[in-house]
Every structure is written in C-alpha cells, then in structure tokens.
Amino acid sequence: MECLYVPTLERDSRELLIEGDELRHVRVLRCREGDTLYASNGRGLRAQISLQQIGSRFARAAVEAIEFVPGELPYRLTLAVGMLAARDRFEWLVEKSTELGVVRIVPLLLDRSEKIHSFRHERLLAKAVAALKQSRRSVLPVIEMPQRLEDFLATSAASLIVCAPDGQVPSFEPGDLAIVIGSEGGFSPREEQILASFGARKWSLGSLRLRSETAALVAASVVRVGWSAHI
C-alpha cells in the first residue's frame, strides 16, 4: 500500500485534506475514490485512509485507523557524518538513512573536510520525505545545519559510537545512539582526542576501506539488525 506525507494528521483526525505535492502523487498513482492508502505525519503517526473525493485542488480522505510509531526503532539513532564534497552522495545518504530508521542527521564540518558545496536544506528534506513515503515510515528525520564536531558533541545526550579500523565488534546496550563518521580524510588527531574525551566507543565495520556515506549506512544497518528484536 502506498504512503502519503500529510503533516496535518493528528491523533484525533477523522478526515484529511490532501493538497499540493501529495495530490499530485495521488494522481500519479492513478488512485480512485475508495482506494486505501497510508498517510504519515512524520512525527510518529501513520494512518490508514480511504479516498472519498478527488478534486482538481484537493482530495478528501477518511481516516480509518491510526498507528503510533509503527516499525520504528526502539531507541533514537543519530548519524553525524563529515560533509561530503559531492552533493549527490550526501543526498543519497539522507535518503537511505531515512529508510533505515535514523531520526537525526547531522552534517559535520571537520578538520579534513574537502571543499564544501552549498548546503541545500530544502532539497535534502525533500529527499527524506520521498524516502519516508517509500519506506512507509511514521517519523521524518531531523536534518540539521552543518556544525562543528565540538558543537554537536556538546548537545548530544546519546551514547557515542565512532567507526574506526581499530574498533571492536559492535555490541548493543539499551539507549539512544549517535554514530559519528569522519569525512573522506578521516578524523584529525585533534578530533580523535575530542571524541575520546566524550567517551566515544569504537566500532569496527570490517577490514575494507569504505566511503564515508557507505560506512554510515553500514553502521545504521548493523544497529537496525541489533535492535530488530525490539521492533
């Protein structure tokens, strides 16, 4: 069943108006009155809806059932990744992170980051919305503005994980996780010291050298599998 992104969905909603991009999506799907879809508000609610009317400016749908955070991970998973020089690679990272259940994506300005492209937040958000609909998630991840490693660590309450060749086999404890991935050039000695001072644990993702975005998604996949018994 296809999914729409409808931020106006609330716990007590009985009817939804579908407009703009989502109305265009309904038309692309060639939906008819009476068809059943999912609607996600991106804040933890997903509803099963039935299309009652499809007009030129909006569609009207009846809410048949509402679920709270269906299929979401039991704890909050954050990915903090060094900014990538290629815009399309970071967009791909946002898309796939959304599908894997990440709730917060933080681009990091690191000592060894390459020349940074212009940061197009609205485009990244659109990628996340498309991935939310594809995966039928109920939570849209927060995409933060680029920030220094020190600023991110100062505001993060989650347990810190750093992916490194000399790390240990991933192990899991209850609670939120923040996975920190370096840029293409890795972390500088200064940044490694900062991470250690914040108590970051090291995970190994194997012997192969991975691109930053690949390492981030492998780590997120490991977490999803590790937490799967609680989903």
* Ordered strands of the 3-5 beta sheet: 3-5, 36-40, 45-54, 59-68, 15-18
Beta bridge partners of 18: 59
* Total structural domains within the chain: 2
Residue 37 and residue 59: Cα distance in Å, rounded?
12
- Supply the pLDDT for residue 181: 96
Residue-wise pLDDT tens digits, 199-209: 999 999 998 88
| Long-range contacts (CB closer than 8 Å, 24 or more residues apart) made by 92-95 | 92/213, 93/213, 93/216, 93/217, 94/124, 94/127, 94/128, 94/131, 94/141, 94/143, 95/127, 95/128, 95/130, 95/131
Identify whether residues 88 and 60 lie together within a single domain: no
Identify whether residues 9 and 117 lie together within a single domain: no
Identify whether residues 177 and 138 lie together within a single domain: yes
Nearest to 175, CA basis, from 149, 196, 201? 201
- Supply the pLDDT for residue 230: 61
Identify whether residues 175 and 157 lie together within a single domain: yes
Contacts (Cβ under 8 Å, ≥6 apart) of 16: 6, 8, 9, 39, 47, 49, 60, 61, 63
Residue 110 and residue 81: Cα distance in Å, rounded?
9
Identify whether residues 58 and 84 lie together within a single domain: no
Select from 42, 68, 94 the last residue of a domain.
68
Identify whether residues 166 and 203 lie together within a single domain: yes
Identify whether residues 51 and 99 lie together within a single domain: no
Supply the mean pLDDT for the chain: 93
Q: Give the containing element (helix H, strand E) for 159.
A: strand 159-168
- Supply the pLDDT for residue 89: 92
- Supply the pLDDT for residue 110: 94
Residue 39 and residue 37: Cα distance in Å, rounded?
7
Identify whether residues 45 and 87 lie together within a single domain: no
Residue 126 and residue 185: Cα distance in Å, rounded?
28
- 84 by Cβ neighbours in 10 Å (0-12 / 13-18 / 19+) ranks as buried
Contacts (Cβ under 8 Å, ≥6 apart) of 222: 170, 203, 205
* DSSP state string for 69-88: STT--SS-EEEEEEPPSSHH
Select from 21, 41, 68 the last residue of a domain.
68
Give the domain CATH number at 185: 3.40.1280.10
Identify whether residues 122 and 50 lie together within a single domain: no
Select from 30, 48, 68 the last residue of a domain.
68
Give the domain CATH number at 34: 2.40.240.20
Identify whether residues 103 and 43 lie together within a single domain: no
Residue 119 and residue 141: Cα distance in Å, rounded?
17
Identify whether residues 81 and 171 lie together within a single domain: yes
pLDDT tens-digit profile, the chain (231 residues): 999 999 999 999 999 999 999 999 999 999 999 999 999 999 999 999 999 999 999 999 999 999 998 889 999 999 999 998 888 999 999 999 999 999 999 999 999 887 666 789 999 999 999 999 999 999 999 999 999 999 999 999 999 999 988 889 998 888 999 999 998 888 999 999 999 999 999 999 998 889 999 999 999 999 999 887 665
Identify whether residues 61 and 85 lie together within a single domain: no
- Supply the pLDDT for residue 156: 93
Question: Which range marks the domain in which residue 104 is found?
Answer: 77-230
